[in-house]
Amino acid sequence: MSKAVKIVITGGHAATTALAVVEEIQRRRKVIDEIHWIGSAKAIEGKTRKSLESQILPKVGVIFHPITTGRLQRKFSRWTIPSLFKLPLGFLQAFFILIKIKPRVTLSFGGYASVPVVFWSWILGIPVIIHEQTNVAGRANLMCARFAKRILLSRASSLIYYPKGKCTVIGNPLLHNYFVHGIIPDDEEIPVVFITGGSRGSRTINDLVDQSLEKLLSYFRVIHQVGILELEKFQKRRQSLRSDLQEKYQIFDSVDPSEMVKIYNKADIVVARAGANTVAEIIALKKPALLIPIPWSYLNEQYENAKFAREFGVAEILNQPNATVDRFLYLIIKLYANRDSIANLIAPKDSPDEAASDKLVDILLATIC
């Protein structure tokens, strides 16, 4: 009887990309017998909320292995020292999990949870493939590049950061339903704005919404992903509205990535940070978007992602230092007014990510064989 073919996927906060790759693996029917994920079980340092990966991936048959990894934090807080003390424990846990699984290949999407997994995979002779989602390079991926057999990039702009002999540009894997042609958006009489800061939320975006909510609701129906930390605050904010405005304001903290495309398809305009997956999604769906990049992201990652969307023709950028309520409202209304001209401009363009999942799985299978 032949041994089961097992792979390990690892990363920090990469549920959407991992789900797209798992979907493509499963579409190919039993080429890989077991898919394991090694990563953090917690969404935020010091909080008890489960990570999106630990909630979503087991539902599609991925075996989840939590490790307790710390990270180098941007700001000193009461969690900084405890986080550093977790680093050795995470390395030990990753080693014993890999010894137990014996995978044929390790696929890493970056993030600090991936570092011990990639390191021990290299030590144990397990081939490592890294995927870089951003338009630049993530800290963890740069740390791990020396241990990788292949480095797969979403954008050619990342080539300057990695050894060229290892690199292939493939795009950013997205779920198949982002490329199902002929999807018709919901027929809403009132235009819809989808505002999201991701499952962790964005204090900056939430504050702008809080201060402008009544004016926004006078123009639009608003779907607002507030994040896991501010759900209660915005539930109270909704209750403070007139009943007719409450009907136009929908809030939630997080959403299953496989369901996100349904929310996008309800929206005329998207307002978001500029994470790599968000940018890839709005480009795939050709949704006019107002992007507010995180200004302290490594190598100005989010601004570079947002520039890519703007050059594609789908986005306006609002830099956080300039993010006044008046400017915020003006740009949303401007995007809605120009939605038809934006649609005509980008109609002939194809997403650079449509075949990314397929290419990545091809490379993964070639490495196993």
Q: What is the dihedral of CA 58, 62, 63, 65, to 10 degrees?
A: -80
The whole-angstrom distance between residue 325's C-alpha and the CA centroid of its chain comes to 26
Helices marked H in 102-137: 114-123
Residues 141 and 220 in one domain: no
Does 1 fall in a domain? no
Residues 133 and 244 in one domain: no
| E strand intervals along the chain | 6-10, 34-39, 63-66, 105-108, 128-132, 150-153, 167-169, 192-196, 221-225, 249-252, 269-272, 289-291, 315-317
Pick the residue with more confidence: 71 or 32?
Answer: 32
Residues 167 and 241 in one domain: no
User: Residue type for 317, please?
Assistant: I
Residues 131 and 49 in one domain: yes
Token pair of 97, please?
């999990």
Supply the pLDDT for residue 1. 38
Token pair of 333, please?
């209304």
Residues 79 and 204 in one domain: no
Pick the residue with more confidence: 75 or 254?
Answer: 254
Does 329 fall in a domain? yes
Q: What is the pTM of this model?
A: 0.92
Supply the pLDDT for residue 149. 98
Pick the residue with more confidence: 85 or 38?
Answer: 38
Residues 208 and 167 in one domain: no
How are beta strands 167-169 and 150-153 bridged, if at all? parallel
Window from 79-88, 248-257, 285-294 with minimum mean pLDDT: 79-88
Supply the pLDDT for residue 263. 95
**Number of domains into which the chain is organized:** 2
Supply the pLDDT for residue 165. 94
Does 39 fall in a domain? yes
pLDDT in tens, 223-267: 999 998 999 999 999 999 999 999 999 999 988 898 999 999 999
Which residue do the tokens 């080429």 mark? 31
pLDDT in tens, 90-110: 999 999 999 999 999 999 999
Contact 48, 22 (CB under 8 A): no
Residues 201 and 311 in one domain: yes
Task: Give me the CATH number covering residue 132.
Answer: 3.40.50.2000
Q: What is the dihedral of CA 186, 187, 188, 191, to 10 degrees?
A: 80
Overall average pLDDT of the 285-310 stretch: 97
Residues 161 and 304 in one domain: no
Question: Mean pLDDT for the chain?
Answer: 92
Overall average pLDDT of the 340-367 stretch: 96
Burial (Cβ within 10 Å: 0-12, 13-18, ≥19) of residue 2 = exposed
Residues 236 and 168 in one domain: no
Residues 298 and 282 in one domain: yes
Does 69 fall in a domain? yes
Does 53 fall in a domain? yes
pLDDT in tens, 159-211: 999 998 999 999 999 999 999 865 555 556 799 999 999 888 999 999 999 99
- Quick check: 282 pLDDT over 90? yes
Domain that holds residue 258: 178-346
- Quick check: 328 pLDDT over 90? yes
Residues 154 and 245 in one domain: no
Q: How many CB atoms lie within 10 A of CB 13?
A: 22
Residues 248 and 338 in one domain: yes
Closest of 184, 182, 179, 196 to residue 353, by C-alpha: 179
Supply the pLDDT for residue 217. 98
Does 67 fall in a domain? yes
